[in-house]
Chains A and B, each alone.
Chain A
Amino acid sequence: MTVIYLDNNATTQVDPEVLEAMLPYYHELYGNPSSMHTFGGQVGRKIREAREQVANLLGAAPEEIIFTSCGTESDNTAIRSALATFPDKRHIVTTRVEHPAINALVPRLAKEGYRVTELPVDGQGRLDLFQYDEALTHDTAIVSMMWANNETGVIFPVEKAAAMARNKGILFHTDAVQAVGKIPIDLKQNSVDMLSLSGHKLHAAKGVGALYVRKGTKFSPFLVGGHQEKGRRGGTENVPSLIGLGLACQLAAQRLNEENTKVKALRDKLESELLARIPNSRVNGDRVMRLPNTSNISFEFIEGEAILLMINEMGICASSGSACTSGSLQPSHVLRAMGVPFTMAHGSIRFSLSVSNTEKEIDYVIEKFPLIIEKLRALSPYWEVGAAICATVES
């Protein structure tokens, strides 16, 4: 069965060019970049090139890039580093809609005695910058604010927020895992101090990421070991993957325009057609300040896992914020933070596209998806009495 992959915020296919660039470093060129011999040293040169490629995509300098094992490691490193280098400051500012890499760390920090402010969002998933400004205090060690939300694609005003933190002498970290490669980022033009990215979200391999640390920012390593990454991250480099990450970043820069024209047009077509063909459906999150590839739509009175397994039968891959798919019993923390009614949250589906998707695929989904919704609604005890329930929940 052919697969129509609309789950690119979960992970992406390794680009064929990237894979080709990686392969020699598993077998032929297996030297350790730290070695003194040329056999290893040539690998070191290749890593230098990869570091430059990552830096170029972000408008950073190569020495500001630390390779890590994933976005989660980058996030944990950034927060722990800020707390270690500012031991007198006991306050952290973040948001309620962060990825678990931050979101799950927060209660641990609270247990360790830190004060945490988790900023709320409005019904469209947007932050209130006045409220944010008020949360910044002389005791704040770090702000961690995602650049773009993985579930809704909503983009936060990170550059403004970073400038406000800078004004008060507070470190600013952003989890840009979903933003990098999808929207332009130029760290020369803003006050972001630390930025996390992940390889497998931009057509590189799983198990590789990077943390940008602005020159002059105090830093304390998370993984202590050898002198790799100038002592900022111990552990032998994941050579093939980070070489792949470098090339993937270079390709992402070249495809940024396509992402914001072709991919966006396909996303918009999918979204508007589904909304038009399926009653009691709505988009979750701000439709303007949003990643070009993401659409999160709720279909009322049915449940997301059931939708996913039905479209799975047609080879269509997507995600859901429903309780049943999360392993917990509550729907997505992002949709709950936005106050999405439970009638809507349980039936939310996230489509996330990539440059590989075609118009033919989107047309197929537009044709088949409404039939699935109809089938599941025919099973739902709430569908006929729909309008009334919806009104009471939303009021």
Chain B
Amino acid sequence: MWEYSDKVIDHFLKPRNVGEVENPDGVALVGNIACGDALKLTFKLDDNGRIQEVGFKTFGCASAIASASALTEMIKGMTIEEAAKVTDEDIANYLGGLPKEKIHCSVMGREALEKAIAHYKGESVPGLEGEVICECFGVTKPEIERVVRDHGLKTVEEVTNYTKAGGGCGGCADKIQEIIDQVRAAAKGAPARPKLTNLQKIRLIEETIQREIRPALQQDGGDLELIDVVGNRVLVSTRGACASCAAAQLTLKDFVEAKLKELVTPELRVEEVAP
């Protein structure tokens, strides 16, 4: 069972501002039913430009309902400019914290708020459209970049907690890691790694195979030989137990390629060739 704060349970059992505001100034629907949660937010401004009425409807778990309820309480009485400054962290804090696996519920609240404000202004939400990285949950590259930047995220698991990206089939984990690396490198104001010359790259590949990869394979009775490096394609040939093992392809991708990407450069692709 999740460890929900008393405030989460309170907002879940007695949600505030449920429903849809009539003739709203701002409307947004984010998420969808296949993903497991969705939030529809509507608000209406008073004559002074303050949020007078706000309503929500949520499809989702207890923390999704509580996050939406909390959001409506928080923004009531705010001007658009004030509301635009509300972050997912503010929502989570208002609720006395959320379990880390449930942070995405507060992120959904912030997204709905942004979209509703954009709708009011007659704009589209700036910068969150883009290449879809996680097909399972329809999460785009800019969305991932933003949470990595805003919250200093370091791992794919953290990104999943914030955006759900990577939480379905897991096929996009590598792409998410690349985005994390890029964002973090950019934040440091320097490229992730110094640009390698071809010669340096080949030397580093040789060294990594010699020092990190072969000893590990040899422990399982296998081995591997570097045949050639063509651009970013690393051509190798497997030996010993690896040569006859059905799992060798997995080893090549999950271990050899991963190690080379980590220690040399993320662009590398490992391919097996006949010896």
B-binding residues in A (CB < 8 A): 90, 110-115, 301-306, 309-310, 313, 322-325, 327-331, 342-343, 346, 378-382, 389, 393
Chain A nearest CB: distance from B90 CB in Å?
Answer: 22
CB-CB < 8 A to A112: which residues of B? Answer: 247
Chain B nearest CB: distance from A394 CB in Å?
Answer: 12
A380 close to B247 (CB less than 8 A): no
- Of the A-B pairs whose beta carbons lie under 8 Å apart in the complex, a sample of 12, sorted by A's number, is A111-B250, A302-B59, A305-B2, A310-B13, A313-B13, A324-B36, A330-B168, A342-B33, A343-B34, A380-B57, A381-B38, A381-B59
B245 close to A382 (CB less than 8 A): no
Binding stretch for chain A, among B60-68, B195-203, B227-235: B60-68
Q: How far is the CA of A270 from the CA of B109 in the complex (A)?
A: 37
Given A306-B65, A329-B36, 5 other A-B residues pairs in contact with their CB atoms under 8 A: A301-B33, A303-B61, A305-B2, A306-B61, A329-B167
Q: How far is the CA of A382 from the CA of B40 in the complex (A)?
A: 9
Q: Does B12 contact A (CB under 8 A)?
A: yes
A110 close to B247 (CB less than 8 A): yes
Given A306-B61, A306-B62, does the pair A115, B38 have CB atoms closer than 8 Å?
no
A-binding residues in B (CB < 8 A): 2, 9, 12-13, 15, 18, 29, 33-34, 36-40, 57-62, 64-65, 101, 136-137, 160, 164, 167-168, 245-247, 250
Given A324-B36, A346-B36, does the pair A379, B246 have CB atoms closer than 8 Å?
no
CB-CB < 8 A to B38: which residues of A? Answer: 381-382
The prevalent SS among residues of B at the interface is mixed
CB-CB < 8 A to B64: which residues of A? Answer: 303, 306
A378 close to B18 (CB less than 8 A): yes
Closest residue of chain A to B247 (Cβ to Cβ) is A113
Given A115-B246, A310-B13, does the pair A329, B137 have CB atoms closer than 8 Å?
yes
Closest residue of chain A to B104 (Cβ to Cβ) is A329
Chain B nearest CB: distance from A221 CB in Å?
Answer: 24
Given A328-B167, A379-B65, does the pair A322, B36 have CB atoms closer than 8 Å?
yes
Given A111-B250, A115-B246, A309-B12, does the pair A303, B37 have CB atoms closer than 8 Å?
yes
Given A303-B61, A306-B61, A329-B168, does the pair A379, B15 have CB atoms closer than 8 Å?
yes
Q: How far is the CA of A380 from the CA of B15 in the complex (A)?
A: 12
Chain B nearest CB: distance from A298 CB in Å?
Answer: 13
CB-CB < 8 A to B58: which residues of A? Answer: 379-381
A306 close to B250 (CB less than 8 A): no
CB-CB < 8 A to A330: which residues of B? Answer: 136, 167-168
Q: How far is the CA of A378 from the CA of B38 in the complex (A)?
A: 14
B33's partner among A115, A313, A379, A389 (CB-CB below 8 A) is A389
Q: How far is the CA of A301 from the CA of B12 in the complex (A)?
A: 17
Q: Which 6 A-B pairs have the closest CB atoms?
A: A329-B167, A324-B61, A381-B40, A305-B61, A381-B57, A342-B34
Chain A nearest CB: distance from B67 CB in Å?
Answer: 12
Given A381-B39, A389-B33, does the pair A301, B167 have CB atoms closer than 8 Å?
no
CB-CB < 8 A to A310: which residues of B? Answer: 13
Q: How far is the CA of A310 from the CA of B9 in the complex (A)?
A: 10
CB-CB < 8 A to B160: which residues of A? Answer: 329
Which has the most chain A C-beta neighbours within 10 Å: B9, B39, B60, B137? B60
B36's partner among A323, A378, A389, A393 (CB-CB below 8 A) is A323
CB-CB < 8 A to B36: which residues of A? Answer: 303, 322-324, 329, 331, 342, 346
CB-CB < 8 A to B2: which residues of A? Answer: 305
Closest residue of chain A to B12 (Cβ to Cβ) is A309
A379 close to B18 (CB less than 8 A): yes
A306 close to B12 (CB less than 8 A): yes
Q: How far is the CA of A144 from the CA of B13 in the complex (A)?
A: 43
A306's partner among B29, B60, B101, B136 (CB-CB below 8 A) is B60
Q: How far is the CA of A90 from the CA of B245 in the complex (A)?
A: 11
B34 close to A305 (CB less than 8 A): no
Q: How far is the CA of A313 from the CA of B62 in the complex (A)?
A: 13
CB-CB < 8 A to B246: which residues of A? Answer: 90, 113-115
A327 close to B101 (CB less than 8 A): yes
CB-CB < 8 A to B57: which residues of A? Answer: 379-381
Closest residue of chain B to A304 (Cβ to Cβ) is B61
Q: How far is the CA of A360 from the CA of B152 in the complex (A)?
A: 54
CB-CB < 8 A to A342: which residues of B? Answer: 33-34, 36
Q: How far is the CA of A343 from the CA of B246 in the complex (A)?
A: 39
